[in-house]
Amino acid sequence: MSGDFKFYFIKAFKFRCNDVQDNILVMSKNVLIFNILIILAMMIWGGTWVSAKAISATADPLILTFLRFFVTVIFFIPLLLVFKANLRIEREKIKFLLLGSLSMGVYFLLFFKGLQRGYANIGGVFVTSLIPIYTLLISKFFLKRSFRFIDYIGVFIGFLGGLIIMKFWSLNWYNLYENGYIYFITCPFLWALVTISSEKLGQGSSLAFSFYCHLFCALVFLLFVDKTIFNVFDLGFLFWTNLLYLSVISSVIATTLYFYSTTKINSYRTSVYTFIVPTSSLILSVIFLKEKPELTTLIGGALSIMATLLINYRLYKPAEK
C-alpha cells in the first residue's frame, strides 16, 4: 500500500468514524427528546383528574362532558389541517368507531360523576392502573386472544389492588355510591373498549378516530343539555382554565405528543411510561387539591401498577438476539 493511498485511507476512515459518532449523537438526542415528550404527555394525562375535580361541582356532569368534547373538536380542526390527516374510515370499521365513541362518551360522563363524589387521587390511581387489565380481559374473552399464566397472576394482583383501594372489607352499597366507586369501577371497562376499538381501526387512523369520537360525543351530548349551560359564562377564570386544560392540553396536545413520539420509540419503552399517569395524578392531587392519599390507595395502586408491569412485560418484551 503506497504512502499517499494509506494516508487518504486513514483520513477517510477517521472522517467516517466521526460521521458515525455524530449520527449516533444526533439519534441519542432525538430519542431523549421523544422520551421527554412522552413523559410530558403522561403527566398531562395524570393532571386531568386534578383539573376535572376542580370543576366537577361547578355544573351538571352532562354539561361538563359536552363542553369538554365541544371545545376539543374546535381545537382539533387546526391540528388535522396541519398534519393533513386522512379522515377516511373504511365502511366495515364504522362499527368500531361507534363502539369507541359511545364508550368514550359514557366514560367521561361517569368520570365527572365520580369526581363529584370521590377524590381525584383515588380515581386517578384506580382507573388508570386498571385499564390495561380490563383491556386484557376483554381481549381474552371477546377477541379470543391467548392467556399465559403470568397474565392470570397480573389480573389477580390488579384486582386485588383495586379492592384494597376501595377498602373492600368495609364496602356496602352506600359507600359504593357515596364515594364515587360505582363510577370508577365502570370507567376502566369503558376505556378498555375505546382502546380496543382504536386498535381495530388501525394505527394509521388514530387521529381520525380521536376526532370522530369527540365530534360524535359532542353532537350526542348536545341533545341532553338545557338552557342552564349558559350559566357557565358566569363562571370565573379557574373554570375556563381547567376546561381548556382538559380539552386542549390533554385531549389535543398530549394525545398528539404521545402518538408522534410512539412512532419514534419502540413499543416496550412507551408502555413503561404509562405508569406515570397514576403516579402523577396522585402527586398532583396532593399539590393542587391538598388531598391526603390513604395508605390503602398507595398499596393498592402499587399492586395494580405491578400487575400492569407483569402483563406489559410479556406483551412487549424485546426479542432476544
Whether 174 and 163 have beta carbons less than 8 Å apart is answered as no
pLDDT surpasses 80 at 255: no
Binned at pLDDT 50, 70 and 90, residue 80 comes out as confident
- Of 58 and 178, the structure prediction assigns the larger pLDDT to 58
Lowest-pLDDT range, 11-25, 64-78, 135-149? 11-25
Nearest Cα neighbor of 46 from 237, 274, 304 is 274
User: Using CA of residue 95, residue 96, residue 98, residue 102, what is the dihedral sign?
Assistant: positive
pLDDT digits (tens, 9 = 90+) for 286-308: 898 888 888 888 898 888 878 87
Lowest-pLDDT range, 49-53, 99-103, 151-155, 222-226? 151-155
Helix (H/G/I), strand (E/B), else coil: 144: coil
pLDDT digits (tens, 9 = 90+) for 104-132: 999 999 999 999 988 888 888 888 888 87
Burial class (CB in 10 A: 0-12, 13-18, 19+), 16: exposed
In angstroms, the CA 65 to CA 60 distance is 9
DSSP string, 253-311: IIHHHHHHHHTTS-HHHHHHGGGHHHHHHHHHHHHHS-----HHHHHHHHHHHHHHHHH
Nearest Cα neighbor of 87 from 204, 229, 239 is 204
Q: What is the pLDDT of residue 52?
A: 94
Segment of 40-49, 273-282, 306-315 carrying the highest mean pLDDT: 40-49
Grid cell of 33 as nine digits = 427528546
Q: Where are the alpha helices (DSSP H) in the chain?
A: 3-55, 61-83, 94-117, 120-141, 149-165, 173-178, 181-201, 206-222, 237-244, 255-262, 267-272, 276-288, 295-316
* pTM across the whole model: 0.81
pLDDT surpasses 60 at 27: no
- Mean pLDDT confidence for 153-157: 84
Binned at pLDDT 50, 70 and 90, residue 240 comes out as very high
pLDDT surpasses 80 at 24: no
pLDDT surpasses 50 at 11: no
Q: What is the pLDDT of residue 303?
A: 86
In angstroms, the CA 130 to CA 155 distance is 9
Segment of 67-71, 87-91, 235-239, 286-290 carrying the highest mean pLDDT: 67-71
Binned at pLDDT 50, 70 and 90, residue 23 comes out as very low
Binned at pLDDT 50, 70 and 90, residue 29 comes out as low
Percent of the chain with pLDDT over 70: 80
pLDDT digits (tens, 9 = 90+) for 167-214: 888 767 777 788 788 899 899 999 889 888 887 776 566 788 888 999
In angstroms, the CA 261 to CA 87 distance is 21
Whether 59 and 137 have beta carbons less than 8 Å apart is answered as no
pLDDT surpasses 80 at 15: no
Binned at pLDDT 50, 70 and 90, residue 312 comes out as low
**Rg of the chain over all Cα atoms, to the nearest angstrom:** 23
pLDDT surpasses 80 at 2: no
- Integer angstrom CA distances of residue 246 from 71, 129, 271, 303, 304: 9, 20, 23, 28, 25
Lowest-pLDDT range, 7-11, 83-87, 163-167, 216-220? 7-11
